[in-house]
Amino acid sequence: MKICSFCGNRNFNKIVTQYTYKRDSKFIIIDDVPCQSCEYCGEQYFEAKILKNIEAAFNDIYSKGKKIKRSITIPIESYSELLSA
């Protein structure tokens, strides 16, 4: 039986979620990723094969030039800059 490593709960739901993968300063966001979610705290658990597929997609995009579905622009700010504003 699976136990949540954060809250100790034993009840999980199968859901699909959005997963963000980052390596160095490059990102990929994957929609509709299946996972198990803790009913109590919401912590998400992914099968290794799913994470390997995401990593392979990241490599295909950044190393092999695979065409992407769409892209977005995300503002990035340093916390120290927020404090001085």
List the single range of 6-15, 18-27, 66-75, 76-85 with lowest mean pLDDT: 76-85
Residue percentage of the chain with pLDDT more than 70: 98
Angle at the Cα of 47 from the Cα atoms of 55 and 51, rounded to 5 degrees: 5
**The model's pTM:** 0.83
Helices (H), the chain: 48-64, 79-84
With beta carbons less than 8 A apart as the criterion, state whether 45 and 12 touch: yes
CATH of 12-84 given 1.10.760, 3.10.20, 1.10.3470, 3.90.550? 3.10.20
With beta carbons less than 8 A apart as the criterion, state whether 18 and 30 touch: yes
Q: How confident is the model at residue 1 (pLDDT cuts 50, 70, 90)?
A: low
Report, as an integer, the average pLDDT of 55-76. 94
Q: What does the domain layout of the chain look like in residue ranges?
A: 12-84
In the prediction, which pLDDT does 46 show? 98
